[in-house]
């Protein structure tokens, strides 16, 4: 697999950041989390203007080597032509929700942003738009470079171990 410019897509809570961070460290290349481009605030409540976010993502993707990860199909569809590899973490919605609960254990259950994130992750397969399952499936199926779909969380560390 040519991992020179790797895109990682999937639902919130699927393990994109976990994989991207480790893959980038292993390959000694930059890791770009599209959340940091899409959101102005740390709490993910104020979105950056789309044109500005897309411009930032395009600049990141213009580099020779990178790992870029995110759920945002509208951004990824603009970067995919630069990718040499596409990894889709196609993990069950319920497992993604459980992972978010685990990583956000210190947040109050009444936290509105946490509730919204859990609802968002739980609706991945039913969600319409560029950040849902169907849109990711179309991106994956249309990609002509090296690609890999991981269906179980256990496959992610196994993939890293195989490198």
Give pLDDT tens digits for 11-34.
999 999 999 999 999 999 999 999
d(CA 118, CA 122): 6
Q: What is the pLDDT of residue 43?
A: 60
pLDDT at residue 42, as a whole number: 64
Q: 122 and 94 in contact (C-beta within 8 Å)?
A: yes
CATH number for 124? 3.40.50.300
Coil, strand, or helix at residue 86?
A: strand
CA 23, 72, 97, 92: dihedral to nearest 10 degrees? -80
Q: What is the number of structural domains in the chain?
A: 1
SS3 92: coil
As beta bridge partners, residue 68 has 7, 32
Could you list the residue range(s) of the whole structural domain that residue 58 is in? 5-161
């Amino acid at each position: 697999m040519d991992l020179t410019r790797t895109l990682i897509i999937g639902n919130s809570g699927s393990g994109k950041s976990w994989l991207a961070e480790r893959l980038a460290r292993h390959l000694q290349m930059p890791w770009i989390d599209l959340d940091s481009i899409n959101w102005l605030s740390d709490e993910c409540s104020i979105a950056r203007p789309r044109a500005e976010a897309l411009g930032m993502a395009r600049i990141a993707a213009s580099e020779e080597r990178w790992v870029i990860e995110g759920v945002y199909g509208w951004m990824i569809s603009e970067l995919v032509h630069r990718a040499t590899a596409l990894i889709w973490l196609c993990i069950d919605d319920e497992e993604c929700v459980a992972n978010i609960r685990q990583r956000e254990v210190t947040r109050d259950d009444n936290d509105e942003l946490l509730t919204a994130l859990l609802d968002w992750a739980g609706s991945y397969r039913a969600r319409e738009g560029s950040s849902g399952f169907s849109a990711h499936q179309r991106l994956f199926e249309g990609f002509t470079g090296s690609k890999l779909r991981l269906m179980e969380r256990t496959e992610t560390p196994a993939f890293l171990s195989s490198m």
